[in-house]
Amino acid sequence: MADSRDEPLVLGIETSCDETGVGVVRGTTLLADAVASSVDEHARFGGVVPEVASRAHLEAMVPTIQRALKDAGVAASDLDGVAVTAGPGLAGALLVGVSAAKAYAYALGKPLYGVNHLASHICVDQLEHGALPEPTMALLVSGGHSSLLLSTDITSDVRPLGATIDDAAGEAFDKIARVLNLGFPGGPVIDRYAREGDPEAIAFPRGLTGPRDAAYDFSFSGLKTAVARWIEAKRAAGEEVPVRDVAASFQEAVVDVLTRKAVRACKDEGVDHLMIGGGVAANTRLRALAQERCERAGIRLRVPRPKLCTDNGAMVAALGAEMVARNRAASDLDLSADSSLPVTEPHVPGAHAHTHTHSHDHVHEVAKDNLYS
Ligand code: KG4
Ligand code: ZN
């Protein structure tokens, strides 16, 4: 095997939502994962406020980069590249990370890689379980997305098999937590309450699981309404709401559908690995049920540890390192943040479509091109 120091050393910046994440990765080895979150500033609004997030990113950006480099024990000049989430996400929030990444890439004379947030959520598992098998089936569940994705190469080929037609899984957790007055974000607190509740106490609906429904699409808005109505009826009758049982039964409805469809997709596509990523993959019950069902179906389950499931910079660095390792074209220094970057585009190659060569001069030429043209 090659000396690990030959593997690309990449800094990754993530600012698509409320987490300012900066990670440092060498190949598939995690060296640093610094995160500054503005989640507390959003709590009183019951959801992420874009303007508040952008301002928090701006304040946290440079100190978080410095902390990550220090934790990793590397100098900025040692980097082989700077990766950043180009999208999807909140436009203003993305812009802060993209601007910072450009500034560092230009000042250091390193190639810039604008990467996809969703592909990063998948690629991060390389830091935990080694190289991704190809193809990989991925269930991506976060506050903004719920998708089943099939990837033969995480740097170039991500195919969506299905997605939510309304709310994302994490969004459903957040909304139900609000109805139960449990605060924001809802996922972790519902997870906690559910541990002491009965998942079979209330039979909540399983969306899009009928014989004629799309096999790989998800829907959580009917479930959300059903739970809200059930709670209202209890309150109207002057009865106490059994918070733990509601949390457990709601959570069971979500993870039952997610795991059922993911296992079915693996079987249909003949894929014997399932990767689960995104914030909701931190859910204890989702992890347990997925493990149970995958084992029964002979599928190997890969789920990163919770800290790597929620938004972080290491996942961006992991995908950036893979881009460098596979000689993918770097992005131009006029890279734009794209709030609706399609999941099918793992990264944003430059218009010049130049392949990254370890020549820093070359990058400088491209940079000058962009600045002076
Ligand atoms: O991936 P992420 O950090 O940000 C987005 O890209 O959206 O995901 C955040 C979402 C939130 O909706 C949060 O409630 C949910 O992930 N979440 C969880 C858990 N931890 C975070 N949902 C269920 N159970 C958890 N333990
Ligand atoms: Zn995310």
Exposure on the CB side of residue 368, measured as CA atoms within 13 A: 7
Domain covering 4-124+312-372 assigned CATH 3.30.420.40 in the classification:
yes
- More confident: 33 or 358: 33
Q: 143 among the known binding-site residues? A: yes
Closest CA to 61 of 15, 124, 116, 108: 15
pLDDT digits 0-9 by tens, 143-156: 988 999 999 999 99
Q: How far is CA 47 from CA 39, 143, 173, 192, 247, in A?
A: 9, 10, 12, 20, 19
Domain ranges of the chain: 4-124+312-372, 133-305
Q: Which two tokens stand for residue 23?
A: 């990670």
Q: Express each pLDDT in 195-245 by its tens digit.
A: 999 999 999 999 999 999 999 999 999 999 999 999 999 999 999 999 999
Q: Look over the chain and give the mean of its residue pLDDT values, rounded to a whole number.
A: 93
Mean pLDDT on 1-5: 55
Q: Which atom of ligand 1 is nearest to the CA of 16?
A: 6
**Is residue 81 within 6 Å of ligand 1 at its C-beta?**
no
DSSP annotation of 328 reads P
260 class by beta-carbon count within 10 Å (0-12 exposed, 13-18 middle, 19+ buried): middle
CB 173 less than 6 A from any atom of ligand 1: yes
Ligand 1 atom closest to 311 (CA): 3
d(CA 204, CA 226): 7
Task: Tell me what pLDDT residue 371 has.
Answer: 42
The closest residue, in CA terms, to atom 13 on ligand 1 is 187
- Helix, strand, coil distribution of the chain in percent, nearest 5: 45, 20, 35
What band does 39 get if pLDDT is binned at 50, 70 and 90?
Answer: confident
- 78 C-alpha vs ligand 2 centroid, how far in Å? 28
Confirm whether residue 186 is marked as ligand binding. no
pLDDT band at 44 (very low <50, low <70, confident <90, very high): confident
Query: Residue 257 annotated as binding?
Result: no
Q: Give the residue-averaged pLDDT of 101-128.
A: 98
Assess whether pLDDT exceeds 90 at residue 38. Answer: no
Q: Is the pLDDT of residue 361 over 60?
A: no
Does pLDDT of 254 surpass 70? yes
Residue nearest atom 23 of ligand 1, based on CA coordinates: 187
Task: End-to-end CA distance of the chain: give it in Å, rounded.
Answer: 44
CA of residue 273 to ligand 2 center, whole Å: 21
**pLDDT band, very low/low/confident/very high, at 351 (cuts 50, 70, 90):** confident
Tokens of 148: 């089943």
- Cα 216 to chain centroid, rounded: 19
Question: Dmax over Cα atoms in the chain, in whole Å?
Answer: 73
CA 58 to chain centre: 21
What's the gap in Å between 102 CA and the centre of ligand 2? Answer: 21
Q: pLDDT tens across 78-99, in order? A: 999 999 999 999 999 999 999 9
The reported pLDDT for the residue numbered 265 is: 98
Mutate which of 121, 142, 167, 252 for ligand 1? The one with the most ligand atoms within 8 Å of its CB, which is: 142
Tens-digit pLDDT profile for residues 159-192: 999 999 999 999 999 999 999 999 989 999 999 9
The order of strands in the sheet holding 273-277 is: 157-163, 146-153, 136-141, 273-277, 300-302
139 CA distance to ligand 2 centroid (A)?
12
Using CA atoms, how far residue 49 sits from 18, 46, 186, in Å, is 9, 9, 16
Compute how many other C-beta atoms are within 10 angstroms of the C-beta atom of residue 371: 10
CATH of 133-305 among 3.30.230.70, 3.20.20.70, 3.60.21.10, 3.30.420.40: 3.30.420.40
Q: Is the pLDDT of residue 40 over 90?
A: no
Distance of CA 147 to CAs 108, 144, 207, 344, Å?
36, 10, 15, 12
Q: How confident is the model at residue 43 (pLDDT cuts 50, 70, 90)?
A: confident
pLDDT at 327 > cutoff 80: yes
Q: How wide is the angle at C-alpha 167 spanned by C-alphas 165 and 173, nearest 5°?
A: 145
Q: How confident is the model at residue 112 (pLDDT cuts 50, 70, 90)?
A: very high
* Angle (deg, nearest 10), helices 243-269 and 169-179: 170
pLDDT in the model for residue 356: 47
Q: Is the CB of 283 within 6 Å of ligand 1?
A: yes
- At 345, is the pLDDT very low, low, confident or very high (cuts 50, 70, 90)? very high
* 184 closest CA partner among 17, 29, 19, 48: 48
Q: Identical fold at 4-124+312-372 and 133-305?
A: yes
Burial of 244: CB neighbours in 10 Å, binned 0-12, 13-18, 19+: middle
Would you call the peptide bond into 135 cis, given omega within 30 degrees of 0 as the criterion?
yes
Asked whether the beta carbons of 260 and 166 are under 8 A apart, the reply is no
174 lines ligand 1 (CB under 6 A): yes
